[in-house]
């Protein structure tokens, strides 16, 4: 099953995909229309539910979306949304939960160490865009699990050699134009895009087991996602040059000292703390928060779209070289 699942978890008088747009099918199940056409992902799972204790949730893909659960009869009268949803049995690359003004976006490709293929990048872009355009969302919080954030680009993906990094560009552009605060909670490995994404986040919290790295030269390519400007701006030229030229990993304490993260916490406390901070920020005056972010980014991020494309050109040129192709092919065989 591919795509991302979208849940709401707070009292609200509005829900974009309202229950009135659903119809009942067999065995107490509700059938939802395909809300975004034929694309192969789930986004119509935002539903208001009350009057029942759900012990199981099942989903099917196809032309329609179905959700089923125990005691589902009163759903059509619902006004209270699910409070806590975790669906580890559903194989979706991106999980999306909205609660108390916070859109929590979780990378969920554990079988690939949360490495991002084209589909996952597309789902991330759409999740970020949805949060940006949702008036109920004031803060975005991106995360992985307690033992991994993301291994970066999935080098085993068939599109790497064929299309280079082009599918990621629209994701980069979406992140760059976010007006709402973007926070990150990082545990475990955060490689490649897992590190360069953090330079675009407004607040980053890391677990003590977090490992960061920009391994571009090691695989025969050059930096991406604006990191050739943002890394020196954050850490200073020499520290950034050492990290990028040698392509060595560094730990959470080093990330804290060089300004990549705001705070380091025990892994078991990371997500609770990050969530509390995100909700605190979401409760502050929204217009003031948005304007403050815009002023902070006004000069440092000017011309970032052009830099993305300049970096991408160099990246793809190197990626097409015999040396880089051999490295990437060898990496794919190992994994």
> What is 93-317's CATH topology?
2-enoyl-CoA Hydratase; Chain A, domain 1 (3.90.226)
Mean pLDDT along residues 116-132: 94
| pLDDT tens for each residue of 199-244 | 999 999 999 999 999 999 999 999 999 999 999 999 999 999 999 9
Distance CA 292, CA 201 (A): 14
* Residue 288 token pair: 């003031």
Is residue 325 predicted with pLDDT exceeding 70?
yes
- The answer on pLDDT for 2 being more than 90 is no
Shortest CA distance to 96 belongs to which of 88, 84, 104?
104
Whether the pLDDT of residue 27 is over 60: the answer is no
Structure-token pair, residue 277: 């901070």
CA distance linking residue 117 with residue 146, whole number of Å: 21
Per-domain residue ranges of the chain: 22-88, 93-317
Average pLDDT of the chain, as a whole number: 76
Q: What is the pLDDT of residues 159-187, one digit of tens each?
A: 544 444 567 889 999 999 999 999 999 99
Evaluate if pTM is beyond 0.85: no
Q: Is the pLDDT of residue 126 over 90?
A: yes
The three state secondary structure string of the chain is: CCCEEEEECCCCCCCCCCHHHCEEECCCEEEEECCCCCCCCCCCCCCECCCCCCCCCEEECCCEEEEECCCCHHHHHCCCECCCCCCCCCCCCEEEEEECCEEEEEECCHHHCCCECHHHHHHHHHHHHHHHHCCCCCEEEEECECCECECCECCCCCHHHHHCCHHHHHHHHHHHCCCCCEEEEECCEEECHHHHHHHHCCEEEEECCCEEECCCHHHCCCCCCCHHHHHHHHHCHHHHHHHHHHCCCEEHHHHHHCCCCCEEECHHHHHHHHHHHHHHHHCCCHHHHHHHHHHHHCCCCCCHHHHHHHHHHHHHHHHCCHHHHHHHHHHHHHC
Q: Which two tokens stand for residue 185?
A: 């909670």
pLDDT band at 128; cut points 50, 70, 90: very high
Tokens of 190: 């955060």
pLDDT at 52: 28
């Amino acid at each position: 099953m591919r795509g991302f699942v979208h849940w709401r978890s707070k009292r609200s008088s509005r829900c974009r995909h309202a229950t009135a747009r659903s119809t009942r099918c067999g065995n107490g199940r509700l059938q939802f229309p395909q809300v975004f056409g034929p694309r192969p992902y789930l986004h119509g799972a935002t539903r208001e539910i009350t009057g029942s204790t759900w012990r199981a949730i099942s989903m099917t893909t196809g032309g329609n979306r179905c959700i089923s659960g125990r005691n589902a009869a009163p759903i059509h009268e619902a006004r209270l949304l699910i409070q806590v949803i975790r669906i580890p049995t559903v194989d979706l690359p991106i999980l999306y939960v909205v609660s108390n003004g916070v859109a929590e976006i979780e990378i969920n490709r554990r079988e690939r160490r949360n490495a991002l293929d084209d589909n996952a990048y597309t789902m991330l872009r759409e999740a970020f865009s949805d949060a940006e355009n949702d008036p109920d969302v004031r803060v975005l919080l991106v995360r992985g699990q307690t033992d991994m954030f993301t291994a970066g680009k999935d080098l085993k993906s068939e599109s790497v050699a064929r299309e280079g990094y082009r599918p990621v560009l629209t994701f980069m552009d979406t992140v760059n134009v976010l007006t709402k605060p973007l926070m990150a909670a990082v545990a475990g490995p955060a490689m490649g895009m897992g590190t360069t994404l953090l330079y675009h986040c407004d607040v980053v919290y890391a677990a003590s087991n977090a490992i960061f790295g920009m391994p571009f030269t090691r695989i025969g390519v050059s930096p991406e996602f604006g990191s050739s400007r943002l890394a020196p701006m954050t850490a200073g030229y020499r520290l950034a040059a050492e990290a990028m030229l040698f392509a060595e990993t560094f730990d959470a304490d080093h990330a804290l000292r060089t300004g990549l993260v705001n705070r380091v916490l025990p892994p078991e406390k990371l997500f609770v703390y990050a969530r509390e901070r995100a909700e605190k920020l979401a409760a502050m005056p929204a217009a003031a928060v948005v304007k403050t972010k815009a002023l902070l980014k006004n000069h440092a991020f000017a011309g970032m779209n052009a830099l993305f494309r300049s970096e991408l050109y160099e990246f793809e040129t190197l990626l097409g070289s015999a040396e880089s192709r051999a490295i990437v092919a060898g990496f794919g065989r190992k994994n």
